[in-house]
Every structure is written in C-alpha cells, then in structure tokens.
Amino acid sequence: MKIAILPGDGIGPEIMAEAVRVLRALDLPGMELHDGLVGAAAWRVHGHPLPPETLALMHACDALLFGAVGDPACDGLERHLRPEQAVLGMRKELGLFANLRPAKVFPGLEAQSSLRPEVAGAIDLMIVRELNGDVYFGEKGMRETADGQREGYDIMSYSESEVRRIAHAAFRTAQGRSGRLCSVDKANVLETSQLWRDVMIEVAAEYPDVTLEHMYVDNAAMQLVRAPGKFDTIVTGNLFGDILSDQASMCVGSIGLLASASLGAEQTAYGTKGAYEPIHGSAPDIAGKGLANPVAMILSAAMMLRHSFGLEAEAARIEAAVASALNAGALGADLGGTMGTVAIGDAVLAAL
Ligand SMILES: NC(=O)C1=CN([C@@H]2O[C@H](COP(=O)(O)OP(=O)(O)OC[C@H]3O[C@@H](n4cnc5c(N)ncnc54)[C@H](O)[C@@H]3O)[C@@H](O)[C@H]2O)C=CC1
Ligand SMILES: CC(C)CC(=O)C(=O)O
Ligand SMILES: [Mg+2]
C-alpha cells in the first residue's frame, strides 16, 4: 500500500499534515507514505511544477494524496511552468478521467450553509466531473487578429470515447446511489455539448435502472441554490464540473469540507489507482496562518481508503469521526468558528 504524499503549495502542507496524522492513527498494516514535490514547491527545487522525480513516484504508488497547488508569485511564469500544470499534468499522465466530488450537509451544520437551513439540510449529491478533456486540455494560445488586436483562444472539444467512458462511470455511480442521473451541458449552444448529450442518451440504454435527465448548465447553477436536494448524481464536463462543485461547497457550508477522488482505469493489487484531493486550491490568502480547514483533505484520505484500498470500514471510521467532531463544534473561521487547522485535526483524532 504505497501512497504518494504531495502537499504542494499554500495551505497544502498544513492540511496534509492533519490528513497524515489521521492516516497514521489508523495504524494500517503495510501502509507506506512517500513524500513528493508538486507545484511551486517543485518548481523552486527542480525548475518544473511536475518534475520527473515526482512523475516516477506517482507511477510507483498505488494511490496519491494531493494537497493543492498555486502560488501568486508564479502567475507571471510561462503557462507550462505554472504550479497548476502539476494537477492538470497528474490527471492527464495517470489517465484520471473521473472526478467524484460528493457534497452532503453534515448534521448540525445546516445553519452554516449560504442557503436556508431547511434547503441545505436536503443536500446529498455527487458530482461526476470529466477530468481529462474539455477546454482545459484543448489547444490554446495567443494570436493577433487582422486588425492588430491580441486574441486569446482555448479550444473546447470532447471525443466520443471520452464522453462514453465518463458516462459509464456516472451511470455506475448513480446505480450505487438513488438511480437518478442529471447530465449537465450547454447543448443549446455548443457542439461539444450536443455530442455529450447524444452519447449520454446512447449509454443510458445500457442502464435501464437509471433515470437520465438533461439540464443546461446555467439552469443547473440556478437549481443548485434553489433546490439542491433534488439532485442526486450529476455528470458534467471538466469546466462546468469545476465551477458547479465550488458552488455546491457553499451550499454545504464551506469549500474546506469537500473532498474528491480522481479515478482512471488502472488497477493495482489493492483496487483502482487514484488521486485524492480537496476541491479547493492553495488559498494563498490564509496560507501559513494555521486557519485552513483540513476536513476536505482528511475526507479525501477516507475516499482513498475506500476506492484505492477497499478499506470501507476504515474510510467510514474517518468520516464518522469528522462528522462527530464537526457536530461537537470543531469549526474554523470558514464555518463561523474559531478553531485552527491543528485543533480541528486534534478533534477528528479524538473522535476516531
Ligand atoms: N487542485 C488545485 O490544486 C487547485 C488549485 N487552485 C489554485 O489555488 C490558488 C488560489 O485559488 P483561489 O481561486 O483563491 O481558490 P481557493 O480554493 O484556493 O480559495 C478560494 C477561497 O476559499 C478559501 N479556502 C479554500 N480552501 C480553504 C480551506 N481548506 N479552509 C478555509 N478556507 C479555504 C480561501 O481562503 C479563499 O478565500 C490559485 O493559484 C489557483 O490556481 C485552485 C483550485 C484548485
Ligand atoms: C487548476 C485547476 C484546473 C484545478 C481546479 O480548479 C479544480 O480541479 O477544481
Ligand atoms: Mg476548482
């Protein structure tokens, strides 16, 4: 059970330290943790955000715990050297095309949501975000128009096979939940989305026990704050899924609460290889202050135990400890409390 520990930048190291404490407390036989550098932290040492040393570690491990990357000091670098290329590169290099982002309100935290408590209380949804395609990975560049203006461009595209494989992942996810799948696209405007919708409908024929509906992304953004409890499983593209999941986090209460699993086709001796990371970024505005909520990172470790190592009981144990600690008031500033990163980690450990 080899796990790559990739804290990254900003609050990444602070929240990773808490997740590692929780993992170590479980005392799992055969668990090995291997540290690696990603993002600006790697660029400062090796001159690249995803250096060969880290890539080799990623390939050698059964699962990866990833903190966050991003550093304002690097915003002026050429794009291929920016910290964010580490997370994009990891997902592409390992073929991690299915990003599962669960959003569920924790008992006792309904009032921390940006929504009314009775609306927030009904949230229990899963966003299945495609992670290897879309406008994030299309050809991009800067060119000059005929009248001498600068013009930036990013090509949005999806191939049929890319949509088909995420469709199967989403239908299977919906089967394991309530059997309702909502595919979010912009098929009224985008050809990419029309293909997405057509393939979703084709794949639906193989899952007669799942009810498929379609929703345009602008409406989905609205419905997510109007009646989020009506969603069960959402499947969407890379860009829309990125945006909708940040929005879902505030419906739950804080972006510091939402974990994710990024899975591909590769199987190890233990289960599906995957990378596990909070949905948030490196939060430079609070980095180094001990204020970051480590819950999303800790819950990402739980998702790792479930998906990559088949350790369901241990995953559930972490999730129960987090729910109990939050319910008992282990809240940071993001949730209206006063606790810092380490104190929240202590509370989770005490509840384990
Ligand atoms: N997977 C990754 O590594 C990601 C990296 N980024 C990068 O992170 C950097 C910052 O991006 P932002 O747009 O500011 O997004 P962000 O998610 O880092 O922060 C947005 C806001 O949420 C707060 N926040 C985030 N995580 C928190 C936590 N655990 N506890 C308490 N508050 C938390 C931050 O303080 C900030 O006010 C950029 O360089 C961006 O490119 C952004 C998203 C994902
Ligand atoms: C650097 C971004 C593509 C990462 C992000 O915002 C995300 O995956 O949620
Ligand atoms: Mg994001």
Give CA–CA dist 135/80, Å, rounded: 16
DSSP state of 287: T
Ligand 1 contact, 70 CB (< 6 A): yes
The answer to whether residue 285 is domain-embedded is yes
Q: Are residues 318 and 213 in the same domain?
A: no
Domain end call among 234, 252, 270: 252
Ligand 2 contact, 242 CB (< 6 A): yes
One digit per residue, the tens of pLDDT, for the chain of length 352 reads: 999 999 999 999 999 999 999 999 999 999 999 999 999 999 999 999 999 999 999 999 999 999 999 999 999 999 999 999 999 999 999 999 999 999 999 999 999 999 999 999 999 999 999 999 999 999 999 999 999 999 999 999 999 999 999 999 999 999 999 999 999 999 999 999 999 999 999 999 999 999 999 999 999 999 999 999 999 999 999 999 999 999 999 999 999 999 999 999 999 999 999 999 999 999 999 999 999 999 999 999 999 999 999 999 999 999 999 999 999 999 999 999 999 999 999 999 999 9
User: Which residues contact residue 328 at a Cβ distance below 8 angstroms, ignoring those fewer than 6 apart?
Assistant: 347, 351
Domain end call among 252, 276, 296: 252
Q: Are residues 178 and 244 in the same domain?
A: yes
- In this structure, which residue's CA is closest to atom 5 in ligand 2? 242
25 sits in which H/E element = helix 12-26
Taking the CA of residue 279 as reference, the ligand 2 atom at the shortest distance is: 9
Give CA–CA dist 103/296, Å, rounded: 11
Q: Residue 280 Cα, ligand 2 centroid: separation in angstroms?
A: 8
Taking the CA of residue 84 as reference, the ligand 1 atom at the shortest distance is: 41
- Among 6, 114, 255, name the best residue to mutate to test ligand 1's pocket (greatest count of ligand atoms within 8 A of Cβ): 255
Alpha-carbon torsion (236, 95, 82, 21), positive or negative: positive
Active site residues: 136, 186, 218, 242, 246
Please tell me the total count of domains within the chain: 2
Taking the CA of residue 86 as reference, the ligand 1 atom at the shortest distance is: 3
* Domain housing 184: 110-252
Q: Which amino acid is at 197?
A: R
Place of tokens 């994030």: 136
Q: Are residues 350 and 247 in the same domain?
A: no
- Helices 312-327 and 341-351: crossing angle, nearest 10°? 120
Q: Are residues 243 and 196 in the same domain?
A: yes
- ipTM of this model? 0.99
Domain end call among 235, 252, 269: 252
CATH number of the domain residue 276 falls in: 3.40.718.10
User: Which residues contact residue 300 at a Cβ distance below 8 angstroms, ignoring those fewer than 6 apart?
Assistant: 19, 65, 66, 259, 260, 261, 276, 277, 278
User: Which residues contact residue 135 at a Cβ distance below 8 angstroms, ignoring those fewer than 6 apart?
Assistant: 154, 155, 156, 238, 239
Q: Say which ligand is closest to the CA of 129.
A: 2
Q: Read off the pTM.
A: 0.98
Q: Residue 116 Cα, ligand 3 centroid: separation in angstroms?
A: 24
For 65, the 3-state DSSP assignment is strand
Distances (CA, A) of 337 to 10, 39, 280, 290, 329: 21, 30, 19, 14, 8
